Structure 1
Amino acid sequence: MKIGDRVVMNDNYRVSEGNKGKVFVVRSEPWDLCGTECVLLEEYRGGYAVDGLTLVE
């Protein structure tokens, strides 16, 4: 996953109704947070686990 990728939140974690199906743009390189690879997303506060995201083609 890299900066500029378009992603949606998948069902690996609970996703709020407002974020289901919403396309986000990755705005950081992945980093390790306590053993979980995370990224920052545009229009989302805080990091989000990479395994909870699916790339949009």
Structure 2
Amino acid sequence: MKNGDRVIMNNKYRVSERNKGKVFIVRSEPWDLCGTECVLLEGYRGGYAVDGLTLVD
């Protein structure tokens, strides 16, 4: 996953109704947070685990 990728949140973690199916733009390179690879998303506060995201076309 890299800066500029388009992603949606998958069902690995709880996703609010507001964010289900919403396309986010990755705005950072992945980093390690206590053993979990995370990225920043446009329009989302804080980091989000990479394994909870699915790339879209």
Number of equivalenced pairs? 57
- Identify the residue that residue 33 of structure 2 maps to in structure 1: 33
SS at the partner of 1:27? coil
Percent same amino acid at aligned positions?
86
Q: Residue type matched to 1:29 in 2? A: E
* Post-superposition CA distance 1:8-53 (Å, at most 9, x none): 0000000000000000000000000000000000000000000000
TM-score (norm 2): 0.99
After the TM superposition, which segments of 4 or more aligned residues of structure 1 sit over 2 Å from their partners?
A: none
SS at the partner of 1:48? strand
- Identify the residue that residue 20 of structure 1 maps to in structure 2: 20
Q: Residue type matched to 2:9 in 1? A: M
- Identify the residue that residue 43 of structure 1 maps to in structure 2: 43
- Identify the residue that residue 55 of structure 2 maps to in structure 1: 55
TM-score (norm 1): 0.99
Structure 1, unpaired ranges of 5+: none
Distance (whole Å) between structure 2 residues aligned to residue 46 and residue 55 of structure 1: 19
> What is the aligned-residue RMSD (CA, Å)?
0.2
